[in-house]
Amino acid sequence: MTRRPTPTRGQKTTPRVPGKALSSSLTPGTKESSGDAAAARTSRTKSVSLKTAMGRTTAQQRWLARQLNDPYVQAARKQGWRSRAAFKLIELDDRFKLIRPGMRIIDLGAAPGGWTQVAVKRGARHIVGLDLLPVDPVPGAKMVEGDFNDPDMPQRLMDMLGGPADLVMSDMAPNTTGHAATDHMRIMGLAEGALDFALRVLGEGGTFVAKVFQGGSEQHLLVPMKQAFATVKHAKPPASRKDSSELYVIATGFRPGRIVPPEV
């Protein structure tokens, strides 16, 4: 995690707590959900330059300058979304119609809650967000602090939903090391774990959405996915930074009878 800038003398600041959003709203976004993505894309902010380093490293200065000039960051704060990542799900949902009224949804790696907010606003009836970190409550959803790898977690979350999930979504990403190959393997490991979890909790016809990185090894993930789902597609939403290798895999039409049991 990048450390927040040190405040100048006399300046008050609130410590950044993992899992907590810097801003939030009970009614995030625009009045109509269909306008959420457009509001961010048409947002225009004046270019901001850092006047002083204030003891920051070069990497911290670059990160802060990028945040200050990112229209999605500014739109998220203005509209009350807990993170800019909310716009990624908004854009994916606008394109693929992932979220429908009355759905049961599990949000893996939910902190700080942006994707959960989107699911609530777009009409899902039962939503459970899961994260290793404590997450501030999201009205209309249940937040659980725990590990999706726990053996009893699939049944626990299905009990909370009142049945199998219609959609399992994961925007999880590991702490990066700076070594591209290592970081790629870590994100793919999370994606594979999320898929295994989804196969245990999804109902027939369900959908799985997860973050992956381009790099070749995602083929290992696609083979079982194509067996278990009717369609599998990749997408890079506009909110995903151009210099990022992240993609999202969207698997729809879950077919439980097509799952190949692991070899003993």
Question: What pTM, to 2 d.p., does this model score?
Answer: 0.79
Tell whether omega for the bond before 112 is within 30 degrees of 0, i.e. cis: yes
- Each residue of 169-205: pLDDT tens digit? 999 987 777 777 777 788 888 999 999 999 999 999 9
Predicted pLDDT of residue 24: 59
Active-site position among 211, 226, 233, 236: 211
- Number of domains observed in the structure of the chain: 2
Answer yes or no: are the C-beta atoms of 24 and 113 closer than 8 Å: yes
Asked about 211 being catalytic, the answer comes back as: yes
Predicted pLDDT of residue 12: 42
Tens-level pLDDT at each residue, the chain (264 residues) = 333 344 444 444 333 344 455 455 666 766 666 668 776 666 555 555 556 656 667 655 554 545 566 788 889 889 999 999 999 999 999 999 999 999 999 999 999 999 999 999 999 999 999 999 999 999 999 999 999 999 999 999 999 999 999 999 999 987 777 777 777 788 888 999 999 999 999 999 999 999 988 765 567 788 899 999 999 999 999 999 887 888 999 999 999 988 765 553
How far, in Å, are 85, 192, 253 from residue 230 at the CA level?
27, 18, 5
Residue 44 phi, psi (nearest 5): -125, 125
Predicted pLDDT of residue 116: 98
Domain shared by 139 and 38, yes or no: no
**Cα separation of 144 and 108, whole Å?**
10
Domain shared by 108 and 217, yes or no: yes
Tell me if 156 is assigned to some domain: yes
Positive or negative torsion for Cα 256, 146, 187, 213? positive
Domain shared by 61 and 134, yes or no: no
Predicted pLDDT of residue 241: 83
**Cα separation of 115 and 109, whole Å?**
10
Instruction: Read off the amino acid at residue 199.
Output: L
Predicted pLDDT of residue 260: 63
With left for phi above 0 and alpha for psi between -120 and 50, is residue 184 left, alpha or beta? alpha
Tell me if 63 is assigned to some domain: yes
Tell me if 131 is assigned to some domain: yes
Domain shared by 136 and 238, yes or no: yes
Structure tokens at 160: 């909370």
Domain shared by 75 and 126, yes or no: no
Predicted pLDDT of residue 210: 95
Expressed as residue numbers, the domain containing 143 is 86-256
What CATH number is associated with residue 233?
Answer: 3.40.50.150
Domain shared by 63 and 115, yes or no: no
Domain shared by 70 and 112, yes or no: no
Tell me if 180 is assigned to some domain: yes
Residue 167 phi, psi (nearest 5): -150, 130
Tell me if 26 is assigned to some domain: no
- Each residue of 10-43: pLDDT tens digit? 444 333 344 455 455 666 766 666 668 776 666 5
Positive or negative torsion for Cα 123, 124, 126, 131? negative
Domain shared by 156 and 250, yes or no: yes
